[in-house]
Amino acid sequence: MGNTNHMQGKAILTINAGSSSIKFSLFSVPQLNQFVVGQIDGIGGDAIFKIKWVDQPTEEVIAWPNNECPKSHRESLACLINWLHKALHDVKVIAVGHRVVHGGQKYSAPTLITEEVMDELESLMVLAPLHQPHNLEGIKAAQEYFGGIPQIACFDTAFHRTHSFVDDCYAIPRYFYDKGICRYGFHGLSYEYITERLMHMFPKEARRKMIIAHLGNGASMTALHNGVSIASTMGFSSLDGLPMGTRCGEIDPGVLLYMMEHEKMDAKAISDILYKESGLKGLSGGISNDMRTLENSDLLPAKEAIDYYVKEVKREIGALSALMAGLDVLVFTGGIGENSSMIRARVLKEMSWIGIELDEDSNLAGETIISDDHSRVLCLKMHTDEERVIARHTFGLAKMEMSEE
């Protein structure tokens, strides 16, 4: 970049606008050191604003009276911008990076947002109706409040655009594929971060046959060879594959036909059940969608929800390994994958048939390598950082504009 003094006091802002929250981070330029992370939760209800300075031990919490809470993403982002102006008067945001869930078949890399790009992303809302509208609302609000600075879209689907036709298609009439009805895969920003870290930490192993398990409130697994995604458990939507906090995961389409024909449920009612009332929450009889709560419960439905979850993760390890004709590396990440030693231990129990031997002490201690010395498969536990991936891509695409200032 040349003279780094030119970049002092400037930052990249990353925004991840969800259904009821906005997560954000600030990274210094050009080092891309994260120095602030925060989120506004409960948008539309009793919203609360949390800010954490990376070099400070505690977080700042801002709560509003009920009648003053931001009611929309645009109002919430206005609160965020107002806070930025007051708290960071000596720092200038020079580009904004956005997590966008769906990039369709066209976008296989981060993209500078233009009017044409926004039109295309809006056309994809039908493919991700519960995520895409909020992502785009965050973009529109940032465009309004930040004026003409570069806005970059980083896609959760882009990482998986390397799949072959047979790993992307469904066995339905082929013209549906031409309309975009195919397997997209998600959590790509997380997989990208983990893959890059592995290339530095374990360069030889990272080029072998690998499965990354992103296990959190949303969950999926991806098979990679030579660092490239070849198959994912998530398909056309973020419902498919593993059971999640409130999402069902894999389900027989006949169940949906039954709901329509015999329960007389319309699309919205079915959507609400599959997205909001299923997964761990549904299986546990409403006890919780949080794995921590279920692990601490003595109730049978909580135990059965965990049993089902573990069974499905095990099954997908076998299925993805079969597609690659083997397995050399298995990585756990995400909120559950990184923090639940119990889930990791149960998933890896009795997996010696595929070459996995767990080191129980290392797993309980939360070490990076959790397989023992006799394990043919290297098993790892790693922290993911989607925001850093967004920041890096945003900085790269905005570099030309910044150098011309």
Edge to edge, the sheet with strand 209-215 lists 228-232, 219-225, 209-215, 329-333, 378-381
Rounded to an integer, what distance in angstroms lies between the CA atom of residue 348 and that of residue 238? 25
Please report the pLDDT score of residue 20 as a whole number.
Answer: 81
Please report the pLDDT score of residue 181 as a whole number.
Answer: 94
Report the residue count for the chain: 405
Domains present along the chain, CATH in parentheses:
4-155 (3.30.420.40), 203-386 (3.30.420.40)
Task: Name residues of the chain where pLDDT drops below 70.
Answer: 1-8, 400-405
Please report the pLDDT score of residue 402 as a whole number.
Answer: 56
pTM of the model: 0.93
Is-catalytic flag, 156? yes
Please report the pLDDT score of residue 73 as a whole number.
Answer: 82
- Catalytic: which of 41, 55, 90, 156? 156
Please report the pLDDT score of residue 90 as a whole number.
Answer: 84
Please report the pLDDT score of residue 213 as a whole number.
Answer: 98
